Amino acid sequence: MPAVTSAPADSQRPDTKPRRRVGRPAAAVLDQDGITAAALQLIQKSGYDGFTMAALARTLNVAPSALYNHVSSKRDVLVLVQDHLTSLVDVSAFESEPWERAVRDWAWSYRDVFSKHTPLIPVIAVLPVTDAPKTLAMYEAVSAGFSRAGFPQERIISAIVAFESFIFGSAYDVTAPADIFDSGSMAATTPHFTSAVARLAEQGFESQADVAFSLGLKALIAGLGGFRA
């Protein structure tokens, strides 16, 4: 028993409104690059909450379903955006600077890019590199830098993964509210923690996230750098 939505069957030629375009347009309106660019713009304007297939389609003056001729899911769009963003990560220092400085610059740049795009982190973290050519290019540049710096081949990937893990985790920190560690009414029962938080706050100019990132990064560079021949 189908629910009849009662479209009046008596309209012979309704033409109450000028028929909208349907069918193949003069030239293709959409392609993956256009979709990626529009997605990025939309995300910047409306955030990841406002990033819907419907909203994306609207900015492209197209029906939502049209997107699916060029992309197979919303996740696909996120992968495209991710890959584009990764191409913005600065790996140039690997070709001019000593390893320590190169890693440091790369790590900061990487963190800064994705701290504005943390919803992509779960996507990147498990994405096969095959699906993201620009990401693969970044890895190549970094691997080459590690290799040139004298890293033993069999440690390179592990070291990069360690850096990346730290970078992704730190990207979240950037977005955390400033008072995240305020223990409020529980302060009395957590004396060590509460005092440590107070001590940090009372002398902190720099952003908390930046201090922690700087500290950890230095440790990783010193520790992992020790593997070089």
- For residue 201 the two structure tokens come to 């706050």
Which SS3 state, helix, strand or coil, does residue 191 take? helix
Encoding tokens for residue 227? 């593997």
Distance CA 186, CA 146 (A): 47
Q: Count CB atoms within 10 A of the CB of residue 131.
A: 13
- Interface size with its own copies, residues (CB under 8 A): 74
How far the first Cα of the chain sits from its last, in Å, is: 76
For its own copies, the binding residues in 193-222 under the rule CB under 8 A are 193, 195-197, 199-200, 202-203, 208-209, 211-213, 215-216, 218-220, 222
Binding mask 155-194 for DNA (x = CB under 7 A): ----------------------------------------
Q: Are 79 and 35 in contact (CB under 8 A)?
A: no
Chain positions 6 to 25 lying near DNA, rule: CB under 7 A, are 20-25
The binding track of 108-137 with respect to its own copies, each residue x by CB under 8 A or -, is: ----------xx-xx--xxxxxx--x--xx
Give burial (CB, 10 Å; 0-12/13-18/19+) of 120.
buried
Listed ranges 64-72, 136-144, 163-171, 205-213: which one lies at the site for DNA (CB under 7 A):
64-72
Distance CA 110, CA 137 (A): 14
Q: Among 59, 64, 144, 162, which residue sits at the site for DNA (rule: CB under 7 A)?
A: 64
155 binds, among DNA, its own copies, none (CB under 5 to 8 A by kind): its own copies
List of residues contacting DNA (CB under 7 A): 2-3, 5, 20-30, 50-55, 57, 61-66, 68-70, 72-75
